[in-house]
Structure 1
Amino acid sequence: MHHVLCGLAANTSLPSQLIDRLIAVADADIAADLVRRADLTRAQAAALASRVEESAVPLAYAGLLTADDVDPATRPDAALALLAERAGRVEWTRAFAEDPVVERREKLAACPGLPPDVVEILATDPDVRVVAELASWTSPETAVGLAGHPHAEVRRALAANEATPPAVLAALLTGEGLPPARLCLVCARERIPFTHDPHCPRLDCDLPPGASCDGSHESSTHETQRMALLNPTTPTEAVPDFAEHPSVLLRWALAGRRDLPPEVCARLACDPNPGVRADLAENPAIDDVVTRVLAGDREHEVRRRLAHNPLVPLEVLIDLARATRIGATLLPRIARASSDEVVGLAASPDPAARLLVAQRRDLSSVVREALAADTDAKVAKSVAPHPGLPEGMLRAMLERHGPRVAAQVAANPDATSALLETLTRHQAPARKALRAIAAHPNASVPALLACLADARARPVAARHAALPPSVAEKLLTDADWRVVEAAAANPSLPEDVMSALIPRPRSRGTA
């Protein structure tokens, strides 16, 4: 019954009066589906929050609860969710700033639009977690004031905040112009020198694995530098010296920056770590010289990531596609290809070039149909889901390439009911094709019944609106709970069946 009720909670055809009844018997699992309903009224949201306390927070984030519905004294988490959405009351912020529960002050510190007096209180909080959370989200003005904070964890949080002024970020990266930090997460609780065991057996320990301090707060300083390098507002002129830094993590953070000068890119292209080179390969900041160096990289992942660079030259991309497993995806450079380039790729004698352009879904009918008739199964498979292909071409594609293109043909939005039925009658139909058919809006009853015979397609078909109500009703007792839940969510279920599935709350005094 539990899976039935969860399915009903997600059923788009569930009438409002049955939603009310379901709320009256809901538990946390049922409530999780109810809060995602687009038709939930404010009154129903308030009733659900009263019934299942855990639902109040997602309901507040969804805008279904207002400040009038929430008492911060009894529902502090929901009140903080409203403050996070700028829907709470100003007076709540002052109360939470003095709350004895650290986690609540920490959540408050992440809320936007806090009054200046509340920000001031949080900036001097005795728990560094609260100040660090404030530093992660605060305004440029407050960031300047926190830059010299004695605790290194606050500085690390500031380094990740894109609102932190560039001059402060440069100082956090280089250490110049700031007083030394006096504390870090390690030396604040352990005798130094100390290095945290990555396999620490202490259950109450929350130090990061490998965190260390010998008095210089080295692991916190390292993480502050990494955050500053990842921060796009850190000034470009402050970062070049990190291209040969001994820390691979800092070089890795540097490699993804979109403002790298050519000489820094050239140095990183020779980095001994393939992860650094892979991030650099996808970076639009690299020039043609670095691009061609990376195109010949021995690591597959470097070449694959280079193929995803939006500025990679077309001829380089074709070479990469010929020798690198890129996957069935529309690459950024192909997405921005001109109409002349698209025509040229589609007419190329190289199947790798045709395969690239077959992923576009805005092709002209001439190009689209030429690719659909391609003798290369991979090309045909890529273009098969393209909308606008006539049924005759889809059938010809099936006849030519068989099971290799069946799932993609089934995924074509214009596939007709008759074509989908034909696919289910294929000898040993592809399981991926059955799942695509089960989800297709044009799937007919015979096609859906065939899909029910496949274990992985069965839950998908059980939810399809075209499934006969009598069949959906039988599936409510299926041995697979996923099928049961999907059948209960089927919008074709009659209202009287849905009503019968929801137990009525016991009246007071009922034994």
Structure 2
Amino acid sequence: MWIREKIWNEAGPAERRLAGLAVNPAAPVSLLLRLLADGPPAARMALCGDRDLPGSVVDALLAHPDRWARAVFASSPHADPAQRARLVDDPEFVVKAHLAEGPPNRWTVRRPRLPDPTVVHIINTYDGELVQGIDCQISAGLRRDMPTHPDPKVRLWGVGSWRSLPVGLRAALLADPNPEVRECAERHARHEDPQWVQRELPEHSCHARTGMLMHDALNRAVIDSVLTAPVGQGDRAMIAGNPSLPPDVVVLLAADPDPEVRGDIARRPDLGAAERRALAVDPDPKVRLALSTHPALTESERAGIDYEVPQDGYFGPCYQQSEPRDPAAVRRDALSAHPLLRRRAAGDQLLPADLLDLLAADPDLGVRVTLAQNHPDAPAELLLRSFLEYTGGDRVELLTRPQFPTVGLAAYAEHEDPAVRALVARDPELAPALADRLTRDPDPEVRGVLARHPNLPAARIVELLEDGELARHAAANPALDPALMEELVNAFVRTAC
């Protein structure tokens, strides 16, 4: 949020120190209330956005005149969604906007959803510009019920899942008693009319053309025009995955000179046996890899393909479909010799215990890390091993898991990776002398997290309160003397007056 950055950049040393105090887990409620009422903006931003808040502080915050403080709390990843929902009728646009948008993107996969009644209220009362961000905060149950919800505005929202809706629900929405719902359903249904698609298909490269070629029902005239006179270089690749392609075109594109087209065709479930055999020996390794995971292949056929699975990919939280996968299909993937299929199984949060144990010891890094990132019961040893071995995107998500280990992490104090050295700060048995030494580490992240360790000697904590870089971290140290906490606030208030 830009306002937080602006406030922080304008904050002086004393204000930044109080921002650290605002997130101190040992700070008493009375002190938090003082910071909310009399503290600087930097402290309010930290208080409202960087920690969970006791109920009495939330009550005071909801009545606070600082709209930005309320806005920060409305999108805080640390706040209980039910508490955030209390801001649903806030008079300020910016507060409602942040409530609807929710926590930042990196919290999307495991973010707690807003209560269903709050979502329904937002859909009914917020303007279109505001309501768009709510999608990631809808519970699976409400999303499933939206197409048949008694509230027409919620049904209207449910039409957005048109492509995944069964035929019966589509028919019901097309005959809905509410004209807005019917019109919206008709707008979606027309994309299944090849004649309408032909009439409306843009004749120039654009997002609309791309979407229609990839997903809409295409008649022979449109397909032939793409094959013989494409508007853009990527048109053939766009239609390669379209479900409406007739079998002869699938056969044709399976031999396309463009490997991107062949790779997209290789993923089609309706790919014929002859085409599968041809693509299994394709000269392009990416095409062979795409074909190697085809659901129609046997394990022996997969083993006969010369493919190589990259080890430097992204292994993070996976999108979880509202409808669970077929357990038998998940088990087949988990027991496959193909790492990509095992990775697919590892991303399933409903993976049973026996497969969890099996994949936790998998030889493939991607399988292990994907399992660690997604399974709610991923063992502590797997979480630590994954953090040590994986340095790609969303590595930090592993640290958000409650079962991430703590005891014994002091052993990594000399590790060459500063992110691993920073793990030492999570060890409750850390020796005070080692904590002291690591507050002088060459890496600023390591210095910062160790300045917050409760085993840090009291004299060092006091010393760091005057350190320009580490003062806010020292102020967040739960071992800080409560009397000194009060004095920090009193000193600021005296100066401010």
Q: Calculate the TM-score normalised by the size of structure 1.
A: 0.52
Distance 1:287 1:28, change over 3 A: farther
1:45-85 superposed Cα distances (whole Å, 9 cap, x missing partner): 3244x2244743762895536479633xxx23445667894
Indicate the residue corresponding to 1:247 in structure 2.
232
TM-fit CA distance, 1:380: 13
1:56 alignment partner, one of 56, 71, 76: 71
Task: Check conservation: 2:214, 2:238, Cα contact below 8 A.
Answer: yes
Whole-Å separation in 2 of the counterparts to 1:416 and 1:109: 40
Whole-Å separation in 2 of the counterparts to 1:67 and 1:366: 43
Distance 1:108 1:324, change over 3 A: closer
What does residue range 408-447 of structure 1 map to in structure 2 within 5 Å?
417-418=407-408, 420-424=409-413, 429-431=415-417, 434-435=420-421, 437-438=423-424, 440-441=426-427, 444-445=430-431
Indicate the residue corresponding to 1:19 in structure 2.
32
Distance 1:58 1:468, change over 3 A: closer
Equivalent position SS for 1:323: coil
Indicate the residue corresponding to 1:170 in structure 2.
193
Equivalent position SS for 1:64: helix
Equivalent position SS for 2:52: coil
Indicate the residue corresponding to 1:100 in structure 2.
none
- Number of aligned residues: 390
TM-fit CA distance, 1:424: 3.9
Which has the higher Rg, Structure 1 or Structure 2?
Answer: 1
Whole-Å separation in 2 of the counterparts to 1:260 and 1:490: 62
1:418-458 superposed Cα distances (whole Å, 9 cap, x missing partner): 5x444546xxx332673463365566337656655351651
1:270-297 superposed Cα distances (whole Å, 9 cap, x missing partner): 4555555555556666566555555555
TM-fit CA distance, 1:166: 1.9
1:336 alignment partner, one of 330, 334, 345: 330
Q: Establish whether residue 87 from structure 1 lines up as the match of residue 121 from structure 2.
A: yes
Q: Establish whether residue 70 from structure 1 lines up as the match of residue 73 from structure 2.
A: no
Structure 1 counterpart of 2:59, one-letter code: A
Indicate the residue corresponding to 1:44 in structure 2.
60
Indicate the residue corresponding to 2:45 in structure 1.
31
Equivalent position SS for 1:87: helix
Task: Check conservation: 1:18, 1:499, Cα contact below 8 A.
Answer: yes
1:400-426 superposed Cα distances (whole Å, 9 cap, x missing partner): xxx9899x9x999787845x444546x
Task: Check conservation: 1:26, 1:52, Cα contact below 8 A.
Answer: no
What does residue range 39-438 of structure 1 map to in structure 2 within 5 Å?
39=53, 41=55, 42-48=58-64, 50-53=65-68, 55-56=70-71, 59=74, 64=84, 66=86, 70-71=90-91, 75-78=92-95, 85-87=119-121, 106-107=129-130, 141-142=179-180, 145=183, 164-168=187-191, 170=193, 174-176=197-199, 218-219=203-204, 222-229=206-213, 234-235=216-217, 244=227, 245-256=230-241, 264-278=249-263, 290=275, 293-294=278-279, 296-299=281-284, 302=287, 314=299, 323-327=308-312, 336-338=330-332, 341=335, 387=379, 417-418=407-408, 420-424=409-413, 429-431=415-417, 434-435=420-421, 437-438=423-424
1:356-408 superposed Cα distances (whole Å, 9 cap, x missing partner): 78x96966899789879xxxx98999899884869xxx9xxxxxxxx9899x9
Indicate the residue corresponding to 1:122 in structure 2.
none
Task: Check conservation: 1:330, 1:356, Cα contact below 8 A.
Answer: no
Structure 2 counterpart of 1:76, one-letter code: F
Distance 1:225 1:436, change over 3 A: same
Taking only the aligned residue pairs, the percentage that are identical comes to 18
Whichever structure has more helix as a proportion of its residues is 2
Q: Calculate the TM-score normalised by the size of structure 2.
A: 0.53
Task: Check conservation: 1:252, 1:275, Cα contact below 8 A.
Answer: yes
Whole-Å separation in 2 of the counterparts to 1:404 and 1:33: 34
Structure 2 counterpart of 1:142, one-letter code: E
Distance 1:326 1:290, change over 3 A: farther
TM-fit CA distance, 1:19: 2.4
